[in-house]
Amino acid sequence: MKRTSEDGQSKLPDNTALKQQQLPAYRLQLSATGVLSCFFATGVFCLGMGIILILSAKSIKEIEIKYTKICGNCAKLREDATNFDKECTCSIPFYLSETMQVKGEREEIQAYTFLFTVSSCIQDVGNCAPFSKSHDGTPIAPCGAIANSIFNDTIILSYKLNSSIPIKVPMLRSGITWWTDKYVKFQNPSSINLSSAFAGTTKPPCWAKPVYELDGEDPGNNGFLNDDFIVWMRTAAFPTFKKLYRRLNRIQYFIEGLPAGNYSFNITYNFPVTRFKGEKSVVLSTLTWSGGSSLFLGLVYTVTGAVTWLASFSMMAVHLTLKDRKVLFIQQ
């Protein structure tokens, strides 16, 4: 019996404040004044941020030119898949009445491709079918419906200086992707020669070039690290969406932005959309510290602030009502 008692005592925790749970503990005691103050402060912050973001988005200048119908001949040509090797171009002149000016180092002018599409036409599946292998069984790289439907129109912006010979507006194709996409999510095969790394594969059916020849000017912008490919592979949540195409290179006549004057878009039309009643546009837009022209984030902050304030006033009314009843009960 004595041995059993000693064994039981040996299993007891040490007689310390930690193991006996005797350490002092802090219990948060919230007061009505503290809670209401936090709610009011949160509401003020959200409303303020919402107003600032909305005003910032409203200050952005945008020019949108829909070119699906303007380039109608090219659109009709692309309806027939057998004409994929026939080049079709169209020119769209327009006048910029005022300078699209950028002020800060982080502000710039961006060109977007704006597509109105049917989401089911570009929605991919997990196993890449039916674009996993070609008709002869050769693996497709990159595979999948999204990669196959990559936007491949070529858009060149020209500026007529003093109504003379058009000047090509310098655009940058770098810096248009998310950093995590460029350096984490997408990677090329570990090989010095990309063409040999992709040996034994074939290009997607709708592509004019294989993945390792997408950019003839910059060898580092080929394969799965091609900026246009990465931008396209980040799928949009809605059927109406924008894709960043290029950034203005602020040199020569364009240091302060796009000066007022005559411009034209010279478009090599490749991407077909009329078969599913889609539309394409090109959008010139300035960029501010808060991003693009979307009002979504500003509206979210504003609605959150308004709801928080409404909840604050409701809780304050309930608190004052119960407080008055308590005082009345004590007096009685």
> Which alpha helices (DSSP H) does 102-209 contain, by range?
145-148, 179-180, 194-197
Write down the pTM of the prediction: 0.75
Q: How far apart are CA 88 and CA 286, in angstroms?
A: 29
pLDDT for 104 beyond 70: no
Tens of pLDDT, residue by residue over 239-266, are 888 888 998 888 888 888 888 889 999 9
Per DSSP bridges, beta strands 89-96 and 257-258 are: unpaired
Calculate mean pLDDT across residues 220-240: 90
Q: What angle do CA 179, 184, 185 make, to 5 degrees?
A: 100
Tokens representing 69? Answer: 């119908």
Q: Indicate the domain borders of the chain.
A: 35-60+292-307, 61-291
221: confidence class by pLDDT, cuts 50, 70, 90:
very high
Lowest mean pLDDT among 2-11, 73-82, 221-230, 318-327: 2-11
Calculate the average pLDDT of the chain: 83
Tens of pLDDT, residue by residue over 4-58, are 555 556 677 788 877 777 777 777 777 888 888 999 999 999 999 999 999 988 8
pLDDT for 316 beyond 80: yes
pLDDT for the residue numbered 103:
56
Lowest mean pLDDT among 17-21, 72-76, 227-231: 17-21
pLDDT for 115 beyond 60: no
DSSP code at position 202 = B
78: confidence class by pLDDT, cuts 50, 70, 90:
confident
pLDDT for the residue numbered 122:
38
Choose among 306, 285, 304, 305: nearest CA to 57. Answer: 285
The SS3 assignment for 229 reads: helix
pLDDT for the residue numbered 180:
93
Q: How far apart are CA 172 and CA 44, in angstroms?
A: 40
Lowest mean pLDDT among 72-76, 156-160, 256-260, 326-330: 326-330
Q: Report the percentage of the chain scoring pLDDT > 70.
A: 86
pLDDT for 102 beyond 70: no
Choose among 251, 261, 135: nearest CA to 204. Answer: 135
Tens of pLDDT, residue by residue over 185-209, are 999 988 778 989 999 999 998 888 8
DSSP E strand boundaries for the chain: 62-66, 89-96, 100-101, 108-116, 154-160, 166-168, 171-172, 240-248, 257-258, 261-268, 279-287
pLDDT for the residue numbered 179:
92
pLDDT for 2 beyond 80: no
> Which alpha helices (DSSP H) does the chain contain, by range?
2-10, 32-58, 72-78, 145-148, 179-180, 194-197, 227-233, 296-331
pLDDT for the residue numbered 125:
41
